[in-house]
Structure 1
Amino acid sequence: MQTQSTTHHAVASREEWLEARKALLAQEKAYTRERDRLTAERLALPWVRIDKDYMFDTPAGRRSLADLFDGRSQLVIYHFMLPPEWEAGCPGCSFLADHLGGTLAHLNHHDVTVTAVSRAPLDRIEAYRRRMGWHFPWASSHDSDFNRDFGVTFTAEDVAAGTAIYNYEPTSATGEMPGLSAFHKDEAGQIFHTYSTYGRGLEEVLGTYMILDRAPFGRNEESTMDWLRRHDEYEDAAPTSCCGSASSQAAA
């Protein structure tokens, strides 16, 4: 986190501030209208029917993708970076997961189920969940193609073959990456993939960032999430990078 001061920041009268604020408000309103337009286009995307059988390990036993809907017609999956060889989840994914708990009652009563999915075995997931104090659903895809099929896990062979695609572009990254995917199940039980987003497309889920963007010094970071810790590590944690970098994986 960078040290900030008022030394180099403009200071104005209340009248000057109000004039500048009204000018910014016009831009904020335009941004809101553009966001609404993009949301409408997102909802208008065509859907892809899922014909492949995916199975997951959960605390309730083996469950299919259809089962993960938990009786609802909409499912949002957070692709949480926790592979079998890590003892703890990615700090950035853990940051996002901290924002999920309070949404569940509202989303569930709006016909939306949210769950995390990781490649780690279930016992590793459950141990980390207990450490973090989370209660949202979380499933293991450790013996499934799910992560690879939805573009969040890559091997060196994938990169060499040119089949490693992250955020709809070729990538040289290997291992785990974060993402979010949405699905619909119709009355006949057919499942459709409706949307996926990756990278900075996840930022709007991060309410902490939305608040920081309105704080006096904004995100106050030299590189993305360089200040971030898992929520139980803030007292004595060393700085760490995040989400897909070698240092993040080593720290995890």
Structure 2
Amino acid sequence: MSATPHRVVSEAEWIVARKKHLEREQELTRALEAVARERRELPWVAVEKNYVFDGPEGEQTLSDLFAGRSQLIVQHFMFGPGWKEGCPGCSFQSDNIGGAVVHLEHHDVSFVVVSRASVPEIEAFKKRMGWRFAWVSSGRSDFNYDYHVSFREDEIIKGKVYYNYELRDFQSEELPGVSAFYRDPSGAVFHTYSAYGGGADMLLGAYHYLDLTARGRNENGQPMGWVRHHDRYE
């Protein structure tokens, strides 16, 4: 038998340990369900500003991004004007949406990625990565700034930016996040939820697969330090 750092036991002993851990997993499932209920019960904020986005087919409003559905999820993707490529971590998250989009769309939810990069920059990177989801530019609007994922020069100069609901030391002119919106039958749009940083890890299916393995995420204190664009792995 090869050397292993783990304790090796009989099948019967393993079942006892596994069932004990199963109780903890079930506790966590119930806690996650309770948090999800609380999330759905959060108050909403009416979106009164007229945001305009640019896409490959022209100008779109925030309401247009719903594509006839009542709910919208926006991935705030770190990709600023002039960047050669999008953020590897955001790309990792985008790789996880793939086949889920068609299911979301048939459950009254649209999914759109938003960045400040120009449409040509977005389209070139999107083609390189082989993605098919909707992706628009917010470069001509305040959208990224109002949802605290991009930062203006005066904030950067001060060295403090408002991110994840508190003032933090400046790290980058663009940061990641996810936001949800609702449009009622009258056409009014409401902001219902946003999460930033590690709060969006719940969307990373690959992480949940890694969490099933013996070595887990194995990130050595550097979240996503190992992640590359999927066409850059050796």
Task: Quickly name the TM-score band, shorter chain normalised.
Answer: over 0.9
Change (3 A) 1:6 1:122: farther
Q: Please point out which of 16, 20, 25 is paired with 2:22.
A: 25
Partner letter of residue 111 of structure 1? D
136-145 or 12-21, which moves further after superposition?
Answer: 12-21
Change (3 A) 1:170 1:6: farther
How many residues end up aligned between the 2 structures? Answer: 231
Counterpart position of 2:40: 43
Counterpart position of 2:226: 227
Change (3 A) 1:48 1:162: farther
Residues in 1 aligned to 2:194 and 2:52: alpha-carbon distance in whole angstroms: 19
Contact 1:70 1:113 (C-alpha < 8 Å) held by counterparts: yes
In the TM superposition, what are the counterparts of 1:30-109 in structure 2 within 5 Å? 30-109=27-106
Counterpart position of 2:138: 141
Counterpart position of 2:183: 185
Residue 13 in structure 1 maps to residue 14 in structure 2: no
In the TM superposition, what are the counterparts of 1:226-245 in structure 2 within 5 Å? 226-235=225-234
SS at match of 1:200: helix
Residues in 2 aligned to 1:207 and 1:175: alpha-carbon distance in whole angstroms: 27
SS at match of 2:139: coil
Residue 155 in structure 1 maps to residue 152 in structure 2: yes
Please report how far the alpha carbon of residue 87 of structure 1 lies from its aligned counterpart in structure 2 after TM superposition: 1.1
Residues in 1 aligned to 2:162 and 2:144: alpha-carbon distance in whole angstroms: 12
SS at match of 1:153: coil
219-228 or 127-136, which moves further after superposition?
Answer: 219-228
Residues in 2 aligned to 1:160 and 1:34: alpha-carbon distance in whole angstroms: 41
Please report how far the alpha carbon of residue 128 of structure 1 lies from its aligned counterpart in structure 2 after TM superposition: 0.1
172-181 or 105-114, which moves further after superposition?
Answer: 172-181
Counterpart position of 1:123: 120
TM-score, normalised via structure 2 length: 0.95
Partner letter of residue 175 of structure 2? M
4+ residue segments displaced more than 6 Å: none
Residues in 2 aligned to 1:181 and 1:154: alpha-carbon distance in whole angstroms: 17
Residues in 2 aligned to 1:234 and 1:6: alpha-carbon distance in whole angstroms: 29
Residues in 2 aligned to 1:227 and 1:172: alpha-carbon distance in whole angstroms: 24
The runs of 5 or more residues in structure 2 that have no matched partner are none
Contact 1:68 1:75 (C-alpha < 8 Å) held by counterparts: yes
Partner letter of residue 5 of structure 2? H
Residues in 1 aligned to 2:34 and 2:141: alpha-carbon distance in whole angstroms: 36
Partner letter of residue 223 of structure 2? T
> Share of identical aligned residues, percent?
50
SS at match of 1:51: coil
The runs of 5 or more residues in structure 1 that have no matched partner are 236-252
Please report how far the alpha carbon of residue 143 of structure 1 lies from its aligned counterpart in structure 2 after TM superposition: 1.3
Change (3 A) 1:89 1:110: same
Change (3 A) 1:191 1:162: farther
Please report how far the alpha carbon of residue 78 of structure 1 lies from its aligned counterpart in structure 2 after TM superposition: 0.2
Deviation per residue, 1:181-237 (Å, 9 max, x gap): 0000111110000000011111111111000000121111211112111000001xx
Cα RMSD (Å) of the superposition?
1.4
Please report how far the alpha carbon of residue 8 of structure 1 lies from its aligned counterpart in structure 2 after TM superposition: 2.1
